[in-house]
Chains A and B, each alone.
Chain A
Amino acid sequence: MTQKQPSLTDLLRRNRYVVVGSVMTIFFVVVALVGLFYLPHDPLQPVGPDYAPPSLKFPFGTTFVGQDVFSQWMYGARSTLLVGFLSALVTMVIGVAIGMVAAFIAFTDEPLMRFTDVILTLPALPMLITIAAFVRPTIYLTAVLIAFLAWPAAARVTRSDVLSLKESPYVEVALLSGVPLRYIMFRDMLRHILPLVLALSLFSVIGAILTEASLDFIGVGPSSAFTWGAMISFANDANSAFAGAWWWFIVPGLSIALLSTGLAFIAYGLETVLKEA
């Protein structure tokens, strides 16, 4: 015991992927938070000339009716993040619950896993398009619907992880010494699978943001919530590419990609650190 084992936080802080990813993610979270209190212009009202290219007054230019793209971008950050994180939360709650039940209660394992396989096979985006075409969901319902089709990965990972953990000596010792099963389940197990679940949930955030943007683009999304996906969709509907107004859709698309890359970096760094630790 000459050298102190580096703690998990130290390892994370030393991982370049985690650091860069965190900076990228925090940037967009800050944009969304600032947007709650301050927007340079009303994002939905015409405030300038139509199709003004980027300038000092309008950093990202204006839309075909003179709305400020910069304000829209700040305004869109909140609903984009909301869809992503809400959907990931629901995904993880369903996935972890089903995975844990399947791993702990033997007779539910087979039916639950078959059910998971069925949901996994369904083509998610075409399903969501069809559902949304009929019921026109709000942004909250969209997030939940995305989660309803996204949980199988989390359930599978949780199940296999808990199963291998269940076989580990320390759980056996705990069981033998009379610690109740539910105590082990919720205290120890949950704490053990938490980092893994965190990495997975970051990927669900990415998936949900991309799925919502695709729904908006096809024309069935909650476009009144003005996510970045809706901005691209409006720009496409107005044929802004043919009008040469690249500034309208470049920024929201790039923001989705950069935010997702940031989240993917954190998740990837988390995975490597956990593998090494």
Chain B
Amino acid sequence: MVRAFLRSLARKYTKRYLARRIANMFLVLFVVLTLNFVLPRMMPGNFLQIFVQTLEREHPGANVQVLSQRIASLYGINLPYWAQFLHYIQQIISFTPNFGPSFAYYPTSSWYIVSYSLEWTLILLGTSQAISWVIGILLGTYMAMHKDKTVDRVLQPGLYFLNTIPPFWLGLIFILIFAIDLRVLPASGAYNVTPDPVGVITHMVLPTAVIIAVTLPSHALVVRGVTLEVLSSDFVTVSKAQGLKWRTFYGRVLRNSMLPSLTNLFLSVGFLIGGIFTVEYTFSYPGMGTVIATAVFNEDYPVVQAALYITTLVVLLCNLAADLLYPIVDPRVSYT
């Protein structure tokens, strides 16, 4: 009886938890969409006029009458605000979300530009985080096992320092050393003339190295903390008493400290992604960061908005992944 009660309680709790997480996702999306809706309307003057002027400047000789009509119908400009908002939401949730044409690359849709650049960002994000996470785990476990020894004492402040370096500044330094002084690696772009594998990889080395360097500290320090907790738990004491081989022992500790840091990896994407954007811009890598910076420079507002939307989607998916990983990490949590 008691057990059945407890099980039902656990079930209720986890269902509530899941419902809460999904509600959270929708609220976040709602906030971002509302912001995207409100921002143009907060600009001084009529944003329709500003948009048309920008388009005219970027594309001299375009038919202004047709342009302004097109934009007015896209934003439902003559409707009351609530109807404009509904119209806007409808445009966004249609199959290829419609943020309007890019001003700088008219008439290409801004969604197309942003989703193309997302591939490059994801390649950079995935590669750098996979490497950074593995190094972080090894380093963090090593530091925890040698707590308060010289290695730990030197590495800890070193990691704090590395953690506070502006990523784009480190990128400039790397360009200076490896691309200009030593001339061993390319300084900008993602491939030579055509995207051949060798060119893609050599272009990836520097940006990836910068991102690894600036994200490594947080992974290593998180793993260090988790490992210290694991090391003080009972099973470690027992394992030590058993007189296990060092490698077996290391493996057991590693397994227990690895999974919590994996959820942390997915949760930290929201913080990481901004830094990755600035690194991309430093190396003129054709990812989202460069697209956003170029769009800001050209006052290409639809592209900026589409970029924020797609970034939010990526962050939300990563958070969802972290939530789904939780029961694997901690068998005490279940979503049944």
A121 to B29, CA, bound (A): 10
| Residues of chain A within 8 A of B305, CB atoms compared | 130
| Residues of chain A within 8 A of B168, CB atoms compared | 213-214, 217, 232, 236
| Residues of chain B within 8 A of A213, CB atoms compared | 166, 168
A212 to B281, CA, bound (A): 16
A249 and B42: CB pair below 8 A? Answer: no
Q: Which of A129, A219, A265 contacts B297 (CB 8 A)?
A: A219
Which residues B1-43 have CB closer than 8 A to chain A?
20, 23-25, 27-28, 31-32, 35-36, 39-40, 42-43
Flag whether A230 is at the interface (Cβ < 8 A). no
B273 and A125: CB pair below 8 A? Answer: yes
A253 and B180: CB pair below 8 A? Answer: no
| Residues of chain B within 8 A of A39, CB atoms compared | none
Q: Which of B157, B273, B278 contacts A218 (CB 8 A)?
A: B278
A219 to B164, CA, bound (A): 21
Q: How far is the CB of A201 from chain B (nearest CB, A)?
A: 16
Flag whether B143 is at the interface (Cβ < 8 A). no
Q: How far is the CB of A173 from chain B (nearest CB, A)?
A: 33
Known contacts A118-B24, A122-B270, A131-B39: A219-B293 contact under CB 8 Å: yes
A133 and B180: CB pair below 8 A? Answer: no
Q: How far is the CB of B49 from chain A (nearest CB, A)?
A: 15
Which residues B28-77 have CB closer than 8 A to chain A?
28, 31-32, 35-36, 39-40, 42-43
**Count of B residues near A, CB < 8 Å?**
56
Flag whether B91 is at the interface (Cβ < 8 A). no
A250 to B166, CA, bound (A): 11
Q: Which residue of B lies closest to A249 (CB)?
A: B172
Known contacts A256-B164, A264-B164: A126-B308 contact under CB 8 Å: yes
A55 to B27, CA, bound (A): 56
Q: Which of A118, A122, A130, A261 contacts B39 (CB 8 A)?
A: A130
Chain A's interface: helix, strand, loop or mixed, by majority? helix
Flag whether A134 is at the interface (Cβ < 8 A). yes
Q: Which residue of B lies closest to A248 (CB)?
A: B172
A217 to B283, CA, bound (A): 13
B311 and A123: CB pair below 8 A? Answer: yes
Q: How far is the CB of B98 from chain A (nearest CB, A)?
A: 18
A133 to B163, CA, bound (A): 27
Stretch at the interface among A90-98, A101-109, A181-189, A238-246: A238-246
Q: Which residue of B lies closest to A113 (CB)?
A: B20
Q: How far is the CB of A269 from chain B (nearest CB, A)?
A: 11
| Residues of chain A within 8 A of B308, CB atoms compared | 123, 126-127, 129-130
| Residues of chain B within 8 A of A260, CB atoms compared | 164
Flag whether A174 is at the interface (Cβ < 8 A). no
Q: Which of A121, A218, A257 contacts B277 (CB 8 A)?
A: A218
Counting contact residues on chain A (CB < 8 A from B), the size range is 35 or more
Q: How far is the CB of B268 from chain A (nearest CB, A)?
A: 11
A250 and B32: CB pair below 8 A? Answer: no
A229 and B166: CB pair below 8 A? Answer: yes
A213 to B319, CA, bound (A): 27
A129 to B165, CA, bound (A): 20
Flag whether B304 is at the interface (Cβ < 8 A). yes
Q: From B169, B275, B292, name the one whose CB has the most chain A CB atoms within 10 angstroms.
A: B169
Q: Which of A124, A206, A265 contacts B274 (CB 8 A)?
A: A124
A257 to B24, CA, bound (A): 34
A121 to B267, CA, bound (A): 9
A135 and B20: CB pair below 8 A? Answer: no
| Residues of chain A within 8 A of B301, CB atoms compared | 133-134
Flag whether B315 is at the interface (Cβ < 8 A). yes
A118 and B160: CB pair below 8 A? Answer: no
| Residues of chain B within 8 A of A134, CB atoms compared | 39-40, 42-43, 301, 304
Flag whether B161 is at the interface (Cβ < 8 A). yes
Contacts from A to B (Cβ < 8 Å): 17, 114, 117-118, 121-127, 129-131, 133-135, 206, 210-211, 213-214, 217-220, 229, 232, 235-236, 241-242, 244, 246, 249-250, 252-253, 256-258, 260-261, 264-265, 268
**Known interface pairs A121-B316, A123-B312; 17 further A-B residue pairs with C-beta atoms within 8 A, sorted by A's residue number:** A123-B308, A124-B274, A125-B277, A126-B274, A126-B307, A129-B274, A130-B305, A135-B39, A213-B168, A217-B166, A217-B168, A217-B281, A220-B296, A253-B170, A257-B161, A257-B164, A258-B161
Which 3 residue pairs of A and B lie closest in terms of their CB atoms, listed nearest first?
A125-B274, A253-B169, A260-B164
Query: Can you list 15 A-B pairs with a CB-CB distance of less than 8 A?
Result: A124-B274, A125-B273, A126-B274, A126-B292, A129-B304, A130-B304, A130-B307, A218-B296, A229-B166, A236-B168, A242-B180, A253-B166, A253-B170, A258-B161, A264-B163
